[in-house]
C-alpha cells in the first residue's frame, strides 16, 4: 500500500508540474527581485535629484527586507503563460519579522522565468 501511495503522490506532483503554474518558490524569487529593484530605484531617485544621501537610508531599509517564507494558496490561469496567484508571506526587515496578509500577484512566464506583471 505504501508503494501505491508513493506512486500516486509522484503522479500528482508530475501533473501539477505539467500544468506549468508557478510554485511558492517562484513567487518568492519574484518578490525578492521586486525588493532589489525597489531599493535600486529609490537609491537612483536621490542620485537623479542631486541628493543621494536623502534616499540612501530608505533604500537600505528596503534592501534589508528578506522574504523568509511564501505560502502559495493557489493560482488560476490568466491568459497565455500567465497566472494570478494568491499567497501569503513572512518577511523580515531590520530584525522584525511579520506575516503579510494574503494577497495576489500576476505572474507571466518568459524565457527568463517568472516575472510580475502588476
**For residues 66-76, average pLDDT:** 97
pTM: 0.78
The predicted-structure confidence for 107-117, as pLDDT tens digits, reads as follows: 999 999 999 99
The predicted-structure confidence for 12-34, as pLDDT tens digits, reads as follows: 544 444 459 999 999 999 999 99
User: Given this model, what pLDDT does residue 19 score?
Assistant: 55
CATH classification number, 21-116, choose in 2.20.25, 3.30.70, 3.10.450, 3.40.210: 3.10.450
The three-state DSSP-derived secondary structure of the chain is: CHHHHHHHHHHHHHHHHHCCCCCHHHHHHHHHHHHHHHHHHHHHHHHHCCCHHHHHHHHHHHHCCEEEEEEEEEEEECCCCEEEEEEEEEEEECCEEEECCCEEEEEEEECCEEEECC
Amino acid at each position: 500500500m505504501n508503494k501505491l501511495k508513493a506512486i500516486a503522490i509522484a503522479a500528482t506532483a508530475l501533473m501539477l508540474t505539467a500544468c506549468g503554474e508557478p510554485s511558492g518558490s517562484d513567487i518568492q524569487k519574484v518578490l525578492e527581485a521586486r525588493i532589489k529593484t525597489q531599493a535600486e530605484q529609490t537609491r537612483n531617485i536621490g542620485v537623479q535629484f542631486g541628493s543621494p544621501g536623502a534616499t540612501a537610508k530608505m533604500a537600505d531599509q528596503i534592501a534589508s527586507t528578506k522574504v523568509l517564507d511564501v505560502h502559495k494558496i493557489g493560482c488560476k490561469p490568466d491568459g497565455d503563460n500567465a497566472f494570478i496567484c494568491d499567497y501569503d508571506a513572512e518577511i523580515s526587515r531590520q530584525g522584525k519579522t511579520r506575516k503579510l496578509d494574503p494577497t495576489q500577484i500576476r505572474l507571466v512566464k518568459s524565457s527568463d522565468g517568472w516575472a510580475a506583471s502588476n
